[in-house]
């Protein structure tokens, strides 16, 4: 027996309505696998605008450490409005000026152990040890280099004054001929044609370039020597440049076995060269001859200067990092003497800087 539908046939108007509704529903809910319907909008003309690029800004900031004094002594509590700075004679706007008493300090002690220092080395050792004991704070570090016919790293970075003192006391006079080896601290001496040479400029260069270039904060080289160089591969100019590029202040304690040494107008006098090195890097020369109390006073003066340093920062109007030397001038009022480096090299930023 076959079942028969009891529904009546659809009338024409109702059938037409349902057909239209079905078609509309098919347009509103297309199949997930169906391609998108074609657009009736007119196509846009090709654009001349280049693709978006990421904007990268690199601002070059210059830092300069300096001290200010007048007839009464060091000037404290200066503000940015008290000073002016110029670069290549162009005025610059000071961004910050702060007094740096607690900023970490890195000191390189360079000890002349050539034959000319035979009788005064013990005096240097005692005074340098006392200086480090009084100046080094827990956050500070120092290293020790001796130089004669060789350049030797006697103590690497440490904040221990006791460890540095042991290294200082182990330093000895070396008048032997230079041994062969690769140049550099800890890997042998620089070759030299002077069997009784004094590789002073090499020592300064290596301390600045190899040890201090990548360090941050305040950096000082303390050089105890009679100022005479023999046999260095580096020159006064290249040693000075290395210190300037590392933003290192060089203080020279000029100490000589013969007090009349620098009064002679002969090539053995290195005082004028040491004055140039110190002046151009923002330090200074203190001549103590072979006088013990003067040597102690010299260390005290340097310690006081390090405790009264200012840090000045500015964004130079010339932002080109072309590696060229830029001259700096800092003024903080009439009758006041500013001790600062004479310029800097506009070097590109590196991951180590």
Taking only the tens place, the pLDDT of each residue in 240-298 is 999 999 999 999 999 987 644 444 444 456 899 999 999 999 999 999 998 989 999 99
pLDDT at 41 over 70: no
At 157 the three-state DSSP class reads strand
Residue 106 β-bridge partners: 141, 219
- Residue ranges of alpha helices (H) inside 218-291 are 236-245, 271-281
Distance CA 204, CA 210 (A): 10
Strands 218-225 and 105-112: parallel
pLDDT reported for residue 307: 86
Split at pLDDT 50, 70, 90, the class of 181 is: very low
Taking only the tens place, the pLDDT of each residue in 212-249 is 999 988 999 999 999 999 999 999 999 999 999 999 99
At 62 the three-state DSSP class reads strand
Give the count of beta carbons closer than 10 Å to the beta carbon of residue 137: 11
pLDDT reported for residue 100: 78
Residue 255 phi, psi (nearest 5):
-130, 125
Residues 6+ apart with CB under 8 A from 134: 303
Residue 313 β-bridge partners: 63, 96
Distance CA 143, CA 159 (A): 9
Cα 196 to the center of its chain, rounded Å = 34
How is domain 105-307 classified at the architecture level of CATH? 3-Layer(aba) Sandwich (3.40)
Task: Bin 95: left if φ > 0, else alpha if -120 < ψ < 50, else beta.
Answer: alpha
The count of C-alpha atoms lying within 13 angstroms of the C-alpha of 323, restricted to the half-sphere facing its C-beta, is: 2
| Rounded percentage of the chain residues whose pLDDT exceeds 90 | 63
- Cβ atoms of 308 and 74 closer than 8 Å: yes
Domains in the chain: boundaries: 62-100+311-345, 105-307
From the list 149, 114, 105, the residue with the least C-alpha distance to 255 is 114
- Choice between 17 and 309, residue whose per-residue pLDDT is larger: 309
> Per-residue pLDDT averaged across 178-206, rounded?
62
């Amino acid at each position: 027996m076959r079942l028969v539908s009891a529904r009546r046939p659809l009338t024409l108007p109702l059938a037409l309505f349902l057909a239209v509704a079905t078609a509309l529903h098919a347009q509103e809910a297309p199949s997930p696998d169906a391609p998108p319907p074609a657009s009736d909008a007119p196509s846009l003309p090709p654009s001349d605008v280049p693709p978006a690029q990421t904007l990268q800004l690199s601002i070059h900031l210059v830092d300069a450490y300096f001290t200010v004094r007048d007839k009464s002594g060091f000037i404290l509590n200066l503000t940015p409005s008290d000073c002016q700075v110029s670069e290549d004679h162009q005025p610059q706007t000071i961004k910050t000026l702060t007094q740096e008493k607690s900023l970490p300090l890195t000191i390189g002690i360079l000890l002349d152990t050539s034959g000319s220092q035979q009788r005064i080395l013990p005096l240097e050792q005692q005074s340098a040890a006392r200086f480090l004991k009084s100046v080094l704070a827990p956050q500070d570090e120092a290293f020790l280099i001796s130089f004669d016919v060789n350049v030797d790293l006697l103590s690497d970075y440490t904040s221990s004054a006791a460890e540095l003192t042991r290294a200082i006391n182990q330093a000895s006079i070396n008048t032997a001929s230079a041994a062969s080896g690769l140049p550099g601290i800890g890997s042998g001496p620089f070759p030299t044609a002077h069997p009784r040479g004094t590789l002073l400029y090499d020592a300064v260069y290596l301390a600045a370039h190899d040890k201090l270039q990548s360090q941050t904060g305040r950096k000082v080289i303390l050089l105890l020597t009679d100022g005479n160089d023999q046999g260095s591969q580096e020159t006064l100019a290249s040693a000075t440049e290395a210190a300037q590029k590392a933003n290192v202040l060089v203080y020279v304690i000029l100490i000589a076995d013969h007090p009349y040494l620098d009064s002679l107008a002969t090539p053995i006098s290195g005082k004028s060269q040491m004055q140039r090195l110190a002046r151009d890097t923002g330090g200074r020369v203190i001549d103590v001859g072979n006088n013990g109390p003067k040597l102690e006073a010299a260390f005290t003066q340097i310690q006081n200067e390090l405790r009264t340093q200012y840090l000045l920062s500015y964004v130079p109007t010339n932002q080109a990092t072309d590696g060229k030397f830029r001259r700096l001038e800092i003024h903080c009022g009439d009758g006041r003497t500013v001790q600062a480096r004479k310029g800097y090299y506009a070097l590109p930023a590196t991951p180590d800087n």
